[in-house]
Amino acid sequence: MNGQRPGKESEVRKVVATEYLSLDGVFQEPGEWSRPFWSDQAAKFKLDELFASDVLLLGRTTYQGFASAWPRMERDSAGFADRMNGMPKYVASRTLKKLDWNNSRLIEGDLADAVGRLKQETSNDVLIGGSGDVVNQLLQQDLIDELRIMLYPIVLGGGKRLFRDGMKKPLRLAKTNELGNGVVVLSYEPAR
């Protein structure tokens, strides 16, 4: 990992989960339904978010989807693809044995312990994208410092929802950000 920034030795970094969500709470396969709403503001938001992070934390399904797509992405002037492919990726999986995407590592042992270590060892945020099971587990354990919901103006009528049935967790709205085309980012923090 990148180590500490000068003067930041005692600062603990944030675990940030960011999710694409339809109005009816679906987060499954956002690439299939979010594209018509993409904007320059959304691209800048995602770029800034990625460059504010040192590592990606992913569940198995999201990792497999990203690993099959990102290595084939063309270089772009903003450096998004290079950053995605080059940064360390930590994968929470009980079934994967081998990871082929550059700089990918399996998390061994307890996920909560691994997240605690990542927060201490990184200079910037730990970013989770997709990975609903990881988000649910960490949210339940109060290990997500910021939950960013990119809310899209579409009702899908079915699909996998982000939050498990029975999940109850009070959150506090910390910030909103309009990205154009009806997309709003709702940033929540734990209501501790």
* Stated pTM of the model: 0.89
- pLDDT tens-digit profile, the chain (192 residues): 444 334 444 466 899 999 999 999 999 999 899 999 999 999 999 999 999 999 999 999 999 999 999 999 877 878 999 999 999 999 999 999 999 999 999 998 999 999 999 998 889 999 999 999 999 999 999 999 999 999 999 999 999 999 988 889 999 999 999 999 999 999 999 997
**Domains of the chain as residue ranges with CATH:** 15-190 (3.40.430.10)
Per-residue pLDDT of 107-150, as tens digits, reads: 989 999 999 999 988 899 999 999 999 999 999 999 999 999 99
Per-residue pLDDT of 138-148, as tens digits, reads: 999 999 999 99
CA neighbor of 46 nearest in space, from 154, 150, 190, 151: 150
Phi-psi region for residue 160, left (φ > 0), alpha (ψ -120 to 50) or beta? beta
